[in-house]
Structure 1
Amino acid sequence: MPTRPPLRQLGLSTGKKARLHRILFRHGLGNGTAIFLPYDQGLEHGPRDFFVNPAAGDPAYITKLAVKGGFNGIALQIGLAEKFYWDYAGEVPLILKLNGKTEIPSDAEALSPVHASVADAVRLGADAVGYTMYVGTPAQEQDFAQYHQVREDAHHYGLPLIVWAYPRGSAIDSKGGKDSFYAVDYAARTASELGADIVKVNFPRPELHTAVRQEYARDFSTQEAIDAVVRSANRTYVLVSGGEKSGDEAMLEKARHAMEAGAVGLIFGRNIWQRSYDDSLAFVDRLKEVLAKYPAL
């Protein structure tokens, strides 16, 4: 079974190491694994994501859920962080998302513009910052340039940098699609090589291999695919996303595969809050049962 490298081997600055230690060992299970609650879907997808559970449209409801569920962190855009996080500041770590876009334009040349700063994150008491990087679009030159500034600022202030590494664009669509093993593996490696401390990826689907590079064109098992993605990230910790809401057993199986591969944890949003409050907490408890089996060495 692959193992996660300990914090002391990640080459982190003092500030980043201290904050990651707080996130991983003073919150959640406290065993070096993590489960984060992302709540940036209102910008990324629009209010439609809240139709199935209208209560989830209230950021106060989600922040309370993050605290009561014992999450290692909650990811918020700046407007919600400024208006709602203060109720529970210090009780659950804040990951401030620094960029984001609406789903209205095509993803063909996707770029997620920066709208907040690392200094904002420090002001709000965040323990980490998040950046969405679209790997494979023609806009990558502009994407990498604004990411460079974010990375430098995160290093200056000592905040861990979590990269949402998302393959996008027509070139990706023609090579297996955004969730193919090829695309997810490439995105994880890109985030690692560009200095992410943690990379967030969707679970790879190895069966999507139409027109991918020949190395990815054969049959891989689900476990082989996620093993390779975590290996490609090397000393960058990996968070695996739940994606769109699906069945509980399928999500738990993804969680087991991810942790077996050496991921540091999970980042599940809609799969948690697109259900009632009590059901959300019950499902979080089931996810924690998986994480409890993979403590840091």
Structure 2
Amino acid sequence: MNLSEIGKKVRLERIMNRDTGRTVIVPMDHGITQGPIEGLKDMSGAVNKVAEGGANAVLVHKGIVRAGHRGYGRDVGLIIHLSGSTGLGPDPNRKTTVTSVEEAVSLGADAVSVHVNLGSESEAEQLQELGKIAETSAAWGMPLIAMMYPRGKNIENEHEVEVVSHAARAGAELGADIIKTNFTGTISSFREVTKGCPVPVIIAGGPKAESNEEILEMASKSIRAQGAGVSIGRNVFQHKNPTNMVKALSKIVHQGATPEEASEEL
């Protein structure tokens, strides 16, 4: 094992539970796409709440590290997001690289993440960037999470198993260590996604859910389909009690609890 492989192993242990090999990540990168939305106006408070709940990591853009990470409360893994676009631009699906792996290293990151929209008009450029970033990440011993979404004018259903499986596999093919993608709705269909992807697959939380039960059920189904965890943002940091919501999700992800058992945390 060379030095970069050792570094990657050490960092992965900071964002993945070493006993379960699974993770609970809370993405808080919404400020670029949507501005200072509810739940993310006080970043230090938002990070502290999910850390106290036992989140394995938070995911933020580089400028937020100084505003909301470490130096107080319970420690939590740090993932720096390298991609960006705003909802004000002509094509929000066109993600561009806004931070380098080297800068993430200097900020003390435990991992980096890249967003790719398969099916978008800028798919080729996004795939090219993913490939380059995977090469740089490997050289630095930095774990890479690829957010792989089937998203564009030719995609009729972003949660359909064939396109989600394709997106997950594409990210693994280009060197990602962990894939984040959409949940396909059922245990059997999501098992097709995890079976076809040689690296761990975690699910996105999606839009704000109507109930706690909906989120807990989705998390449970993904774990039973051999998923490696969750990366849930709005349904955590906009929850009335983010700390307890993280506790509930962690109970499912790391202890195999049922949604009913996990809901006791709420």
Judge conservation of contact 1:129–1:159 (CA < 8 Å) in 2: yes
Q: Deviations over 1:61-110 (max 9, x none)?
A: 11212321221111000111233325359921100001111123355x83
2:63 paired residue number: 79
Q: Which runs of 5+ in 2 are unaligned?
A: 258-266
**Counterpart Cα distance in 1 of 2:84 and 2:175:** 19
Output the TM-score relative to the length of structure 1: 0.79
SS in 1 for 2:221: helix
2:176 paired residue number: 196
1:40 to 13, 19, 29: 29
Judge conservation of contact 2:52–2:73 (CA < 8 Å) in 1: no
SS in 2 for 1:32: coil
Which letter maps to 2:189?
A: A
1:218 paired residue number: none
Judge conservation of contact 2:115–2:146 (CA < 8 Å) in 1: yes
2:243 paired residue number: 281
Q: 1:290 to 1:84 in 2, by over 3 A?
A: closer
Q: Deviations over 1:160-196 (max 9, x none)?
A: 0001111121111xxx322322322221111111111
SS in 1 for 2:102: helix
**Counterpart Cα distance in 2 of 1:134 and 1:96:** 18
SS in 2 for 1:256: helix
2:129 paired residue number: 146
**Counterpart Cα distance in 1 of 2:128 and 2:137:** 15
2:158 paired residue number: 178
2:264 paired residue number: none
Give the superposed CA RMSD: 2.3
Judge conservation of contact 2:78–2:111 (CA < 8 Å) in 1: yes
Q: Aligned ranges for residues 88-103 of structure 1 at < 5 Å?
A: 88=72, 91-103=75-87
Q: 1:253 to 1:90 in 2, by over 3 A?
A: closer
Shift of 1:250: 1.1
Shift of 1:272: 0.8
Judge conservation of contact 1:181–1:225 (CA < 8 Å) in 2: yes
Q: Deviations over 1:235-282 (max 9, x none)?
A: x11111111121111111111111011111111110011123xx2222
2:212 to 243, 248, 272: 248
**Counterpart Cα distance in 2 of 1:98 and 1:141:** 17
**Counterpart Cα distance in 1 of 2:73 and 2:167:** 32
**Counterpart Cα distance in 2 of 1:270 and 1:36:** 12
2:50 to 66, 80, 93: 66
SS in 2 for 1:252: helix
Shift of 1:41: 1.1
Q: 1:284 to 1:83 in 2, by over 3 A?
A: closer
SS in 2 for 1:94: strand
Which letter maps to 1:199?
A: I
Q: Which runs of 5+ in 1 are unaligned?
A: 1-7, 206-221
**Counterpart Cα distance in 2 of 1:158 and 1:70:** 25
2:236 paired residue number: 272
1:262 paired residue number: 226
**Counterpart Cα distance in 1 of 2:226 and 2:119:** 26
Output the TM-score relative to the length of structure 2: 0.87
Aligned residues: 254
**Counterpart Cα distance in 2 of 1:13 and 1:136:** 33
